[in-house]
């Protein structure tokens, strides 16, 4: 699997700090979790949380305004226990107001700011498919706490 998304330094993602596991970068581990979701409807119910947790730790994927939108959506959803349909509606509304929120620069030209996170996609992946629901729930709680 070729990974053109993760820029590594000393075997770790420059943005989230995740180490390679099984020869996989954080982006490749994230892809595995997306496949796991399709094997388990209960896990798929956490899709927003899986994606937003990963993306929050990789701000180079967004414009500055787009990243702020993601943070606002994540904290609002977490703090107010929003249902998935409401989260998706709020996301669509925000994107319609802002326009394109993804970083238009090619991946290798994006500025990356290292940040140390106490839990990353590495931890969810290492926990395995059977523990993914619990790991994602723990991950969203950890990220929410670290955003405060």
- Give the residue, 10 or 102, on which the prediction is more confident: 102
Predicted local confidence at residue 3, as pLDDT: 59
Tell me the average pLDDT of the chain: 93
R_g of the chain computed on alpha carbons: 15
> What does DSSP say about strands 8-9 and 12-13: parallel, antiparallel, or unpaired?
antiparallel
**Which residue, 2, 13, 138, 141, is CA-closest to 74?**
141
- Overall average pLDDT of the 133-139 stretch: 98
Predicted local confidence at residue 1, as pLDDT: 46
**How sure is the predictor about 4, in pLDDT bands with cuts at 50, 70 and 90?**
low
* pLDDT digits 0-9 by tens, 49-62: 999 999 999 999 99
Predicted local confidence at residue 6, as pLDDT: 74
* pLDDT digits 0-9 by tens, 41-95: 999 999 999 999 999 999 999 999 999 999 999 999 999 999 999 999 999 998 8
Predicted local confidence at residue 88, as pLDDT: 92
């Amino acid at each position: 699997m070729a990974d053109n998304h993760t820029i590594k330094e000393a075997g770790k993602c420059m943005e989230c700090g995740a180490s390679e596991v099984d020869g996989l970068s954080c982006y490749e581990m994230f892809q595995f979790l997306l496949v796991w979701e399709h094997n388990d409807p209960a896990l798929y119910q956490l899709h927003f949380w899986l994606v937003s947790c990963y993306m929050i730790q990789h701000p180079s994927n967004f414009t500055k305004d787009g990243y702020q939108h993601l943070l606002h959506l994540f904290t609002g959803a977490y703090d107010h226990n929003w249902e998935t349909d409401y989260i998706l509606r709020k996301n669509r509304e925000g994107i319609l107001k802002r326009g394109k929120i993804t970083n238009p620069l090619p991946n290798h030209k994006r500025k990356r700011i290292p940040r140390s996170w106490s839990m990353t996609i590495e931890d969810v992946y290492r926990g395995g498919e059977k523990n993914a629901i619990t790991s994602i729930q723990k991950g969203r709680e950890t990220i929410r706490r670290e955003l405060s």
